[in-house]
Structure 1
Amino acid sequence: MEPIIREAKPGDRPFIEGIASLTWGGKDYLARVFDEWVNEGGFYVLEVDGRVVGTAKLTLLPGRVGWMEGLRVHPEYRGRGYGRLIHNFMLNLGKKLAEKGAIKAVEFTTYFLNRESIEMARKDGFSVIAKFFNLGAKIEDFQPEEPEPAELDIEDLSLGVVPLGWKFVHRSEEALEWLIKNGETYEIAGFKFLANRDGATFTPLSTGLGCIRAMLPAMAWVAREKGRAEFDLMLPSGMNPILPGLERLGLVLWDETEEPNVLVFRRTL
């Protein structure tokens, strides 16, 4: 049978959980967001011989951006062109939305060692518009301290591209409203940080070494309240000079690279 790409449905959950358990050491978020994504729409699966072996999602973000995320292929089916098949499907879906005026560009993010995705993106006319460092930490390395909920203002957004978890939005009033609706803002010692609702990836809104040191116990508290043992920080590429200081604070940079390990791609349609 020819592969089929269709919208995801509730009955696909066991297949998605299976793929998630084999991705990122079993720490993939797909299983956690499955119900939300099915209800929201724009969530597709690749079916081969009656088995769901791949996924992808297109989410509408502020600035008329179609955000491509959740592209996965079951390990047993990799190397057969299925990743390219799903990628092309999502890109064509984006083009159809652009023709209707719903979006004007598609964007996505990927890890810097995901060579297959990076190669596909460059062949398809995508370019890198932002780079970030993703650093991990363990709650046990800190003394968690409860922060205060805070209000988010446009003045808090100093970056042109603002992370919320593994989604990124372009700074604007529309993006501010989206961040308030979809994220959580906390404050401790006068410093604010963003948290994604479905995970424990944080964006410090003040990025000096001392600021981050002050925020880490609060981030550990929020992550612990979400039932996590670990959490991540998403930091702009300009933080390179203070990476040694961040590591002394207990943060770990994946794969021990000195270059940004998260790339944000964009293609105008």
Structure 2
Amino acid sequence: MEPFIREARPEDKPFIEEIARLTWGGEDYLAKVFDDWVKDGNFYVLELDGRVIGTAKLTLLPNRVGWLEGLRVHPDYRGRGFGRLLHSFMLELGERLAEEGKIEALEFSTYFLNRESIAMAKKDGFSILAKFYVLGAKAEDFDQEEPTPSELTYEDLTLGIIPLGWKFLHRSEETLEWLRKRAEVYEIDGFKFIVPRGGTTFTPLSTGLACIRTMLPAMAYVAKERGEWFDIMLPGGMNPVLLGLMGLGLKLWDETEEPNVLVFRMPLTTLRG
């Protein structure tokens, strides 16, 4: 039987849970977001012989961006072209949405060691839009201090590209409203940081070394009830203070001095020639 791609359904969840267990050492978030993604739409699965063996999602973001995420293939079926099949399908979906006037570009983020996805993206016409560092820390390694819940203002969005978890948004009033609905905002000693609701990947809205030092106990406080580890997403321009950041107790996921998170973009006019 030939594989085919269809919209995800609630009854697909056991298959998605299995893929998540076998991805990133069982740390994959896919099972956690499954229900929300099914409701949101533009969530697809690849089915073969009655079994879901792959997934892909397109999320509509502010500034007419179609955000690609959740591209997965079950380990037993990798190396057989199924990832390319899903990727090509999502490009075609992006083109249709562009023709409907809903989006103007496709974007996605990936880890710098995900060489297969990076090569595939560059071949299809994606280029690097921005680079970030993701650094990890253990909540119990810090003295914890409770922050104050806060409100997000446009002046807080000091970066041109604002991370929320592993999504990256363009600075705009539309993005501000989007973040207000989906991010938790905290403040300590005048410094603010954001985190996805219920998440543990933090974005400091002030990125100086001293600012991050001040915020770390508050991030650890928020993270301690959500898991053992938490992450911080920082702009690639933080390279000069990388050693200082690690001196604060932050750890790079892999040994590298280069930014380890890449954000790609492709204007959809590229797809239409």
Which TM-score band applies after superposition, normalised by the shorter structure? over 0.9
Determine if contact 1:57/1:68 at 8 Å carries over to the other structure. Answer: yes
1:116 alignment partner, SS class: helix
Taking the aligned partners of 1:26 and 1:244, their CA distance within structure 2 comes to: 30
The one-letter code matched in structure 2 to 1:177 is E
Matches within 5 A, 1:218-229: 218-225=218-225, 227-229=226-228
Taking the aligned partners of 1:100 and 1:129, their CA distance within structure 2 comes to: 24
The one-letter code matched in structure 1 to 2:106 is V
Q: 2:125 aligned with 1:139, yes or no?
A: no
Equivalent residue number for residue 192 of structure 2: 192
Offset of residue 140 of structure 1: 1.3
Determine if contact 2:133/2:260 at 8 Å carries over to the other structure. Answer: yes
Which digits, 9 at most, give the CA deviation of each residue in 1:204-262, with x for residues without a partner? 0011111101111111111123x211100000001001111111111110111100000
The one-letter code matched in structure 2 to 1:265 is F
The one-letter code matched in structure 2 to 1:79 is G
Matches within 5 A, 1:161-180: 161-180=161-180
Determine if contact 1:33/1:198 at 8 Å carries over to the other structure. Answer: no
2:254 alignment partner, SS class: helix
1:195 alignment partner, SS class: strand
The one-letter code matched in structure 1 to 2:262 is L
1:255 alignment partner, SS class: coil
The one-letter code matched in structure 2 to 1:234 is M
Taking the aligned partners of 1:145 and 1:268, their CA distance within structure 2 comes to: 43
Determine if contact 1:54/1:72 at 8 Å carries over to the other structure. Answer: yes
Equivalent residue number for residue 80 of structure 2: 80
Which digits, 9 at most, give the CA deviation of each residue in 1:24-81, with x for residues without a partner? 1111111111111111111111111111111110000000000000111111111001
Determine if contact 2:140/2:224 at 8 Å carries over to the other structure. Answer: no
Equivalent residue number for residue 121 of structure 2: 121
Determine if contact 1:108/1:266 at 8 Å carries over to the other structure. Answer: yes
Offset of residue 115 of structure 1: 0.7
Taking the aligned partners of 1:40 and 1:76, their CA distance within structure 2 comes to: 28
Consecutive unaligned residues of structure 2, counting only runs of 5 or more, are: 269-273
Equivalent residue number for residue 271 of structure 2: none
Instruction: Compute the TM-score of the two structures, normalised by the length of structure 1.
Output: 0.98
Determine if contact 2:71/2:83 at 8 Å carries over to the other structure. Answer: yes
Offset of residue 198 of structure 1: 4.0
Offset of residue 108 of structure 1: 0.4
Matches within 5 A, 1:1-269: 1-225=1-225, 227-269=226-268
2:53 alignment partner, SS class: strand
Task: Provide the alpha-carbon RMSD of the alignment.
Answer: 0.8
Taking the aligned partners of 1:170 and 1:45, their CA distance within structure 2 comes to: 28
Taking the aligned partners of 1:88 and 1:177, their CA distance within structure 2 comes to: 32
Identity rate of aligned residues, in percent? 73
Taking the aligned partners of 2:92 and 2:155, their CA distance within structure 1 comes to: 37
Taking the aligned partners of 1:251 and 1:25, their CA distance within structure 2 comes to: 21
Taking the aligned partners of 1:24 and 1:135, their CA distance within structure 2 comes to: 16
Consecutive unaligned residues of structure 1, counting only runs of 5 or more, are: none
Taking the aligned partners of 1:55 and 1:212, their CA distance within structure 2 comes to: 36
1:221 alignment partner, SS class: helix
2:32 alignment partner, SS class: helix
Taking the aligned partners of 1:73 and 1:146, their CA distance within structure 2 comes to: 40
- The size of the alignment, in residue pairs, is 268
The one-letter code matched in structure 2 to 1:61 is L
